[in-house]
Amino acid sequence: MSKQHQGGKAFGQLKKDQETALDEMNRSYLSSGDYDDVEDLEDKLESYKRQFMEFDENNSGDIDIMELKRMMEKLGQAKTHLELKKMIAEVDTNNSGTIHYNEFLDMMLGKKSTVLKLILLFEEMKKAKAVPKGHPPKKVLTDLP
């Protein structure tokens, strides 16, 4: 069994190693000065790291077409194989056929709009406006203005 597909401690270590590598890449983006005009850059990088790690199911360091397919399905945005290939091609600057973390960051922080970026930003906005669940709190007269 390959190291990528092991469970337990090996998987935990692989996930930890990936997070360390992504944290290091985030630090390089923070110190580069290229994105100093981006508001809350550190928070955004942390959010993008979590998003990327969620979608990189095998912790390989990149998102391949099947991981992108499952990601789009989870977001309720199922795409055809051709649409997925086009989405990757919009972002894939080194022609690897996958989306590496630095390409993902360049896409999310850059000015250019890609289909994937728009979907992810839309989903993020939907999460931010989550409707509270359960019964509303009881109101009393002292709450009135």
Lowest mean pLDDT among 8-17, 44-53, 59-68: 8-17
* Cα 19 from Cα 105, distance rounded (Å): 15
Q: Determine the pLDDT at residue 128.
A: 59
pTM attached to this predicted model: 0.72
Superfamily name and number for 8-113: EF-hand (1.10.238.10)
Positive or negative: CA dihedral 127, 64, 99, 1: positive
pLDDT tens, residue by residue, 76-135: 888 899 999 998 999 999 999 999 999 999 888 887 778 888 888 777 766 655 566 777
For 8, residues 6+ apart whose C-beta sits below 8 A from its C-beta are none
- List the single range of 45-59, 63-77, 118-132 with lowest mean pLDDT: 118-132
Q: Is the dihedral of CA 31, 32, 35, 37 positive or negative?
A: positive
Q: Per-residue pLDDT averaged across 70-80, rounded?
A: 88
Domain ranges of the chain: 8-113
